[in-house]
Chains A and B, each alone.
Chain A
Amino acid sequence: MNRKRILVIDDEASITRGIKLNLEALGTFEIRQVNHAPDAVQSALEFKPDLVLLDIVMPEMDGGEVAARLREIPSLKDTPIIFLTAIVSHEETQGGEAYIGGEDYLAKPVDLGTLVQAINNRLIN
């Protein structure tokens, strides 16, 4: 079976590692981690992800800017992006998920079940 490729971008390596370990253990995903935001575009071009998990608060370049750069690339224009963020409050995300300004947001810390569900939702649509 063709495993879905997910690019995980977060400046904290321990977070991307945790996500990679969990998602790959499920057997249906292939994960590549990016911990240095400016490398994101290059990695995406090589990896051709089906979906991007993107942290918002990062040094050097924030998630919003990374998303904008990814969108500039024709082959990545329609790749779904799910933002991961530690700064939205519980109420804003209604206990985990939210849909703000046309993008998916997941509030950190997100548990595995919610994460997988959000990813599958975006991959089906």
Chain B
Amino acid sequence: MLATMAVSLGMVLVVAIVDYLTGLEISVALLYLVPVCWGAWFGGRNAGLFVAAASAAAWLIHVMLLCGFIDHPWVLAWNTLTLGVSFALVAVLMATLALTQKNLEATVTKRSAKLREEVIERRQAEEQLRQVNAELQQAHMQLIEAAKMEMVGRMAAGVAHEVKNPLMILGMGTDYFLQHPVTSEAEAMLLQDMKDAVRRATHIINLMLDFSKPRPLHLVPEDLNTLVENSLDLVRHQFLKQGIEVVRELQADLPALPLDRTRMEHVFVNLFTNAAQAMPAGGTLTVRSSLQEVSGGSSDPGCRVMLEVEDTGPGIRPEHLPKIFEAFYTTKPPGQGTGLGLAIVRRILHIHGANIVLGNRSEGGARATLTFNPTPKSLP
């Protein structure tokens, strides 16, 4: 403010000098409008009026210096007054204009800030919508998958009797010949193959039957790490044979989880077996458990227990990823995989209120991420 005044008055002085040097030329007086406008624009109305008065005074002084004031004092006073009023009017006009301009700027700034906020809000809403949509779609897929599994189970229950009796007959026959000396190596192999075939068929029909009559969950607070260790024990032999190293990164003091021990071990053994099958020439299996805080988001906050199973195999081809959880989906040669493994895994996890995601690691190999809720809201 002070600076504005100083600059304005300086300018008045300069104009006054110019005015004085150019004599009584009236048009030079218009130059006073520059400091008046300047002062009003930057200093406001009062500053503008002050500069206007100063300008009028400066003009009066220059006239008096040039001609003396005795000749026509009334004319001089009149001229000074009209000039001063004109200057004052311009000052007021300028100050008002400046004020309007400032208000306008403030309004625009406020409006655009609000607009930005709205855009952000809208984006968030859209993001939420997308998420909900994705969740819905996933739920839909799961429903379809569940229906499919249920049908598999029902079908299995229906045909189990018809299939298992013939299998029993074949099995008994094979067992009989296996008790007897064989005439050649090939014969022994044939018998063993037959026995394996019966076992394989039995395995599948049993898996399918388990869908038809799932026994009720037996939930007991369990230590996840212990179940992992138990399951690792079950596959230890296979791992040793294939030269697979196991790295454990198990977080101690995890909260106990309500789990069905047998079924959960079934899940882990399945995941470990898949990993082993992906690393026929050896590799590293990493099992990592951890406790994670979850805040806000679409689902309920709290803490989750995470279990990650990583291998150093080739990973899962992107085109296979969407199908791996489907019943009977396998990329393994006939006889080596039923394709029921992951379908069962997911089903068991879901009835526990837990979740599984399978993907590839950026370093190569696959990673299964299991998420457990220590206090599930509702169990089916």
Q: What chain B residues lie within 8 Å of A57 (beta carbons)?
A: 161
Interface of B, secondary structure class, is helix
Q: What chain B residues lie within 8 Å of A25 (beta carbons)?
A: 176, 179-180
Q: Is A69 an interface residue (CB 8 A)?
A: no
Closest to A112 in B: B175
Interface string of B52-64 (1 = CB under 8 A from A): 0000000000000
Cross-chain contact A86 with B175 (CB below 8 angstroms): no
C-alpha gap A87/B160 in the complex (Å): 6
Q: Is B209 an interface residue (CB 8 A)?
A: yes
Cross-chain contact B173 with A18 (CB below 8 angstroms): yes
Q: What chain A residues lie within 8 Å of B207 (beta carbons)?
A: 90
Cross-chain contact B170 with A87 (CB below 8 angstroms): no
Quote the shortest CB–CB distance from A87 to chain B (angstroms): 6
Q: Is A76 an interface residue (CB 8 A)?
A: no
Known A-B contacts A89-B209, A90-B210; A110 and B171 likewise in contact (beta carbons under 8 Å) = yes
Interface string of B163-177 (1 = CB under 8 A from A): 111011111110110
Cross-chain contact B164 with A108 (CB below 8 angstroms): yes
Known A-B contacts A87-B160, A108-B165, A108-B167; A18 and B172 likewise in contact (beta carbons under 8 Å) = yes
Interface string of A87-125 (1 = CB under 8 A from B): 101111000000000000001111110000000000000
Cross-chain contact A18 with B198 (CB below 8 angstroms): no
Which bucket holds chain A's interface residue count? Answer: 20 to 34
Candidates B160, B161, B168, B209; contact of A18 at CB < 8 Å: B168
C-alpha gap A108/B167 in the complex (Å): 8
Q: What chain B residues lie within 8 Å of A91 (beta carbons)?
A: 206, 210, 214-215
Quote the shortest CB–CB distance from A118 to chain B (angstroms): 14
Cross-chain contact B171 with A111 (CB below 8 angstroms): yes
Residue among B157, B160, B172, B175 with the most chain A CB within 10 A?
Answer: B172
Closest to B202 in A: A109
Quote the shortest CB–CB distance from B118 to chain A (angstroms): 56
Interface string of B249-270 (1 = CB under 8 A from A): 0000000000000000000000
Q: What chain A residues lie within 8 Å of B167 (beta carbons)?
A: 108-109
C-alpha gap A111/B168 in the complex (Å): 8
Cross-chain contact A86 with B210 (CB below 8 angstroms): no
Supplied contacts A89-B212, A109-B171, A111-B195, 14 more A-B pairs, CB within 8 Å: A15-B169, A18-B169, A18-B173, A25-B179, A25-B180, A87-B160, A87-B161, A90-B209, A91-B206, A92-B215, A107-B206, A110-B171, A111-B171, A112-B172
**A-to-B contact residues, CB < 8 Å:** 12, 14-15, 18-19, 21-22, 25-26, 57, 84, 86-87, 89-92, 107-112
